[in-house]
Amino acid sequence: MNDMNENDAGLRCWSRRGDALVYQQCGACGRRWLFRRGFCPHCAAPSPTEHLAAGGGTVRASTLVHRAPSDEFRALAPYRLVLVDLDEGVRLMAHADPAVAIGDRVRGSVRRIAGRPLPFFDKDLAS
């Protein structure tokens, strides 16, 4: 599989058109999750609905990567990765501004990182 196909497949999992984070919600049990599926991973009900995340969240974990897993990310090292609990109740791993710390309120966007559209979080200056 070439990089474009891998990038497109990853983008379809968590984004719509590459400009916003998308989560799904089950109409039967109400649970929410990232990464698109045709059924609820909790109760197996069919046809979940898609929603755009507002982009706000709280950092729950953070690490500074010094030894990147590939050449394309090695050029960016060191870089910050975080686990963010979005306000909508789903958690995701994403890149972040180096100044972001655990407990910070953050605001997400989609940026091109190492040639791929990926979620990125900055400190939410409004909070």
- What is the token pair recorded at 127? 């909070």
Rg value, the chain, Cα: 15
Q: Report pLDDT digits (tens) over 99-113.
A: 999 999 999 998 888
**Length of the chain in terms of residues written:** 127
pLDDT bin (cut points 50, 70, 90) of residue 26 is very high
Higher local confidence (pLDDT), 14 or 36:
36
Q: Report pLDDT digits (tens) over 46-62.
A: 999 999 999 999 999 99
Q: Report pLDDT digits (tens) over 58-97.
A: 999 999 999 988 888 888 999 999 999 999 999 999 999 9
The pTM (predicted TM-score) of the whole model is: 0.82
Strand 56-65 and strand 79-86: pairing? Answer: antiparallel
Sign of CA dihedral 90, 91, 95, 100: positive
| CA pair distance 90, 5, nearest whole angstrom | 26
| CA pair distance 44, 109, nearest whole angstrom | 30
